[in-house]
Structure 1
Amino acid sequence: MSKPIVAIVGRPNVGKSTLFNALAGEKISIVKDHPGVTRDRIYADVTWLTNQFTMIDTGGIEPESKDLMLSHMRQQAEIAIETADVIMFIVDVRQGLVDADFKVADMLRRSGKPIVLVVNKVDNFDKFMPDVYEFYNLGIGDPHPVSASSKLGLGDMLDEVIKFFRPEDMAEEEDERPRIAIVGKPNVGKSSIINKLIGEDRVIVSDIAGTTRDAIDTTVKYHGKEYIFIDTAGLRRKNKITEDLERYSIIRTVTAVERADVVVLVIDASEGVTEQDAKIAGIAHERGKGIIVAVNKWDAIEKDDKTIYKHTNKIKEVLAFMPYAEMIFVSALTGQRLNKLFDLIEQVIQNQNLRIATGVLNEIMTEAVALQQPPSDKGKRLKLFYITQVAVKPPTFVIFVNDKSLMHFSYTRYIENKIREAFGFAGTSLKFFIRERKEKE
C-alpha cells in the first residue's frame, strides 16, 4: 500500500520541527544501532484514526541572509509541491503575516496541490483568534489554529489533512505491474542503467517550465512482462546549498521507496559502499521492501580472482543490518550482467510474496527450539507455542510465546535464520511480531 505523502513547509522558527515531532511521537527510528545510519528526522509515519501517511519535513538548513532565505523557502516549496499529496503550510501567529509567507503562499496556490494552512503557537484560542483570522489574507483557505508545543488543535488539523487523501492516491494498488525503484547517490549511474534496460539513450523528461518531477516512471518490457521503473535521478538543481541537496535527495528516495516493490540500490564500484548508501538501504529495509544491491561500473575495476569476494565482504559489512540483500556486479556502460538484473528482480518479487503453510513453519520452529534452548530469566524459561504467517510483501510472521520479555532479539533472529535456511527468502526482509499467550489456552 503506498501511503499518501504530506509535506511540512514554512519559514524558520515557526515551529515546523516541534509540530513534526508532536505528530510523529517518539516512534521514529531509522534502523537503530547501526553505525552509518543517521537519525536525522526527515520523515515519519503518522497514523490518524484509520489513515496512515508519511510526513516529510522540508526544513533543513536555515540560511543567514534575507535573500537567501527566500530562495531557500522557494526550494522547500518546490520540493513539497513535487513530492507531496498534501502540503501543510505553517505560519506563526506571534510573528504575524510576513512578506515571505505571501510569496510562498503564491507558489503553493499555483501548484493546485491541496494546502492546509496551519497557524502555530496559538496557546490560547480566545486571545489569539483575531490574529489567526489575519491569515485569511494569504488566499489559501481557512487558517487552522494549533499549538505544537502544547499539542492543541492537532486533531482538527489532521482531520483537515486526511480529507484531501483521494482514492487515487491509493490507486497504484490496482496496477499489478511490479514497481522497481532505482536509488543511490548522485552520479552512480542510475539513469544509465535505466537507459540501458530501455535500450534508449535517454530517460525522457518533460520540459514544462516549472515542473521538476523527480521520479520519472518508465515502463520496461522483458520476456513479455512489464515492469515500472521509478528513476530518482531526475534533474540536478544548480544550487549552492549542497548539504540541502543531500537531504532532499533522501526525501526523493523515501518517496520512491514508498511506491516500490523492489529497490535496486546502485553503488559505484570504484567508490565502494558509503554512509549515504547505508542510509538509503536503511530506508528500504525499514519499509520491508525487496532489496538488490547493484554494483555499477564494474568494468572499470582491476580484477584478480579475489576481487568479487573482497567487494562482497566489504558491502556486507557496511550493510550488516540486511544480510539478506541480493548483490549483482554490473556495468551500465558495457551492459554486463544487466539482463541478469531482471531474473534477480523476479526472484525477489517471488520471495516477497511467498507464503508458507503454518504446519511447515511450526515444524521448523519445533526443530529450532530442540536444537537451541530458548533463553530463561530468573528460573522462567521462554516457551514458543505457535508460529503463523500473517502477511506478504514483506513476509510477516507472528510467534505466540508465554512471556514476551523473554523473547530476546537474538532468539528471534535465530528463528528467522532457520526459516531462511529452509526457504531462502533472498532479497527480502522478514518481519516478526511476538504475542503473549497464557499457558492454559
Structure 2
Amino acid sequence: MLPAVALVGRPNVGKSTLFNQLTRSRDALVADFPGVTRDRRYGFGRRDGQSYIVIDTGGLGASASAEIESGIERQVGSALEEADLVVLVVDYRESVTAADERIAAQLRRSGKPVTVAVNKAEGVAHELAEAEFYCFGLGAPVRIAALHGHGLKRLLDRVLAPFEASEAGDAPRFADPKLAVVGRPNVGKSTLINTLLGSERLITSPVPGTTRDSIFVPCERGGRTFTLIDTAGIRRRAKVSDAIEKFSVVQSLQAIETAGVAVVLLDAREGVTDQDLRLIGLVVDRGRALVIGVNKWDGLTMGQRRRTESQVDRQIDFVPFARVVYLSALHGSRIPEVIRSAFTAYEAAGAGFATSRLNAVLEQAIEAHPPPIVRGRQVRLRFAHQGGRYPPLIVVHGSQAARLPTHYRRYLENSFRKALGLEGTPVRIELKSGDNPFSGRRNVLTPRQLKRRKRVIRHARRGR
C-alpha cells in the first residue's frame, strides 16, 4: 500500500504550500468527502519511483483556550488515524510557540513516525535553523523552504525511510486482476462485497492486509478469478451495518492505486452527487479501468428509475467509455454483470495493438476531421504506436503535434477507443513533435538553378 503522509501544524506555517510542492500541483484538491473537514485535502506524490499520499490538514489554533485545545486534539487525532507518517510543520521565523509544543506532545503520544519540518528558513544554515526545534523530542528536524522547493528531497528521504524499509512485506501481491469497490459511505459497498462472498459458487480465502485494514480476498466467480479489495474490512453478514460503515479516504485512494479496475458504487436514491463525480474523476485521473454501479435499484418506482437514468446519462457523460450497471446488492440482482463488465474493462486496459492498426485508425480519424491550424501553421500527424498499457497509451508523432488543442486530443482518444473496441478504460494520447531533419542544412542548388539565380540577380541590378 502507498504510505499516507499527514501535514500537521498551526495556521500559516506553510502546510498548503508544502502540500502543493509534494503533489506538484497548484490547488491539488483531489477529493472532498463527507465526514472529513472541508479544509482537509488529499493528493498523490511521487519521488524516485516511490508514490505516496499526502494529507493536508487544517491549521490548528494558537490559542490555549479549552475550545481550541479540544480542536487540536480532534484534528491531530483524525490525521493520525489515517496517516502512516506525520510531518509537523513549524515556522522558523516565529520560533517555538506554545501551540507547537502542544501539537508535538500529542504526536509523541501517538507512536507514529514524526518528522519536524522547519519551514521559511531560506538562506539559514541547517544547524542554526534546526537547533531550536530539537526541544520537541521528535528527532532531528529538517530545514526546508516550501515556497521555493528547497530541502524537500532531504525531507522525503527522512519521511519515507520507514515505509521503504518495510515495503517488500507490507502488501500481498496476486497475479489475478485486482478489483476495488469504492464509493461514499452508505451506498452499499459492504453489502455488495458480502453478497459476492456469500455466493455458493464463490471460493474465498481471506489474506491479512496492511494496518490500514484493507483486505485482499482472492475470489472465483463464473470460472474466472480476481482479487477483491475491501477498503472497510470484510465482516460477517450479521455484523454489517451500512449506518455505521467505516469509511477512510486514504483506504479508498490506496485501493484505487493498487487496483486494476475500480467499481464506483452510487446510491440510486440520492442520484449522482458531487462526491461521486470527484471519485469517478479520481479513478480516471489515476488511469484505472472503471465500472459504475448504481445500487439500491430495487427500491425505486418506474418514474424514479427514469429520472435517475436521465441524471446518470447527463452527469457522467465525461466518462462515455464506462459501463453503467443498475443493480441491487441486497438482492444480488445484476451483480454477475458487474463482474463481467469489470473483466471486460480490465482486459481492454491491458490490450496490445499492432502499429499498423494504430496508424490505420489515425489515418481514418485525420481523413474524417483534419487537425486544425494552430498559430497559422497546419498541424500534421504522421504516425502512431503504442507506448504503454493499463491504461492504453497511444503515442502520436507529427509536426506541431504538441500544440494540438485539447478538443482534438479528445477526438483522437474517442476515435481510437471506438475503432479498437475499448470499453471501460481511459485511453491516453501522448503527442510528440519531431525535429525538422533539414534544420541547419543549406539547400544545394543544381547548375540550372544557379544559372537562373544569376540571371535574376542581373535583371534586378539593371532595374535599379
For this structure pair, what is the TM-score category when the shorter chain's length is used for normalisation? 0.7 to 0.9
Residue in structure 1 matched with residue 309 of structure 2 by the alignment: 312
* Shift in Å, 1:229: 2.2
Residue in structure 1 matched with residue 19 of structure 2 by the alignment: 20
Equivalent pairs, count: 406
Does the alignment pair 1:267 with 2:266?
Answer: yes
1:310-349 map, 5 Å? 310-349=307-346
Residue in structure 1 matched with residue 35 of structure 2 by the alignment: none
The change in CA–CA distance for 1:40 and 1:365 in structure 2 (over 3 A counts) is farther
* Shift in Å, 1:362: 0.3
The change in CA–CA distance for 1:158 and 1:103 in structure 2 (over 3 A counts) is same
The change in CA–CA distance for 1:26 and 1:271 in structure 2 (over 3 A counts) is closer
In the TM superposition, what whole-angstrom CA distance separates every residue of 1:303-326 from its partner, at most 9, and x where no partner exists?
A: 27xx76653342132123211111
* Shift in Å, 1:77: 1.6
Residue in structure 1 matched with residue 350 of structure 2 by the alignment: 353
* Shift in Å, 1:268: 0.8
Q: Distance in 1 between matches of 2:437 and 2:339?
A: 50
Which segment drifts farther, 362-371 or 225-234? 225-234
Residue in structure 2 matched with residue 238 of structure 1 by the alignment: none
**Which amino acid letter does the alignment assign opposite residue 155 of structure 2?**
M
CA contact (8 A) 1:267 1:295 kept: yes
In the TM superposition, what whole-angstrom CA distance separates every residue of 1:356-378 from its partner, at most 9, and x where no partner exists?
A: 11110101111221122221245
Q: Distance in 2 between matches of 1:99 and 1:147?
A: 21
Q: Distance in 1 between matches of 2:434 and 2:168?
A: 36
Larger Rg: 2
The change in CA–CA distance for 1:400 and 1:102 in structure 2 (over 3 A counts) is same
* Shift in Å, 1:17: 1.2
Which segment drifts farther, 290-299 or 22-31? 22-31
CA contact (8 A) 1:188 1:267 kept: yes
Residue in structure 2 matched with residue 245 of structure 1 by the alignment: none
**Which amino acid letter does the alignment assign opposite residue 149 of structure 1?**
L
Give the TM-score normalised by structure 2: 0.77
1:15-414 map, 5 Å? 15-26=14-25, 42-48=41-47, 50-60=48-58, 65-81=68-84, 86-93=85-92, 94-96=94-96, 98-108=100-110, 110-111=111-112, 114-126=113-125, 129=127, 132-166=130-164, 169=167, 174-199=173-198, 213-233=212-232, 249-303=248-302, 310-377=307-374, 379-414=376-411
In the TM superposition, what whole-angstrom CA distance separates every residue of 1:13-39 from its partner, at most 9, and x where no partner exists?
A: 4321121123334466669xxxxxxx9
SS at match of 1:125: coil
Q: Distance in 2 between matches of 1:187 and 1:299?
A: 16
CA contact (8 A) 1:291 1:325 kept: yes
Residue in structure 2 matched with residue 244 of structure 1 by the alignment: none
* Shift in Å, 1:329: 0.9
Q: Does 1 or 2 have the higher relative contact order (CA < 8 Å, sep 6+)? A: 1
**Which amino acid letter does the alignment assign opposite residue 424 of structure 1?**
G
The change in CA–CA distance for 1:257 and 1:188 in structure 2 (over 3 A counts) is same
Give the TM-score normalised by structure 1: 0.81
- Structure 1 unaligned runs (5+)? 32-38, 236-247
CA contact (8 A) 2:272 2:312 kept: yes
Identity of counterpart residues, as a percentage? 31
SS at match of 1:374: coil
Of residues 390, 413, 419 in structure 2, which corresponds to 1:422? Answer: 419
The change in CA–CA distance for 1:66 and 1:379 in structure 2 (over 3 A counts) is closer
In the TM superposition, what whole-angstrom CA distance separates every residue of 1:315-361 from its partner, at most 9, and x where no partner exists?
A: 13212321111111110111111122221111111011011111101
* Shift in Å, 1:187: 0.7
* Shift in Å, 1:399: 0.5
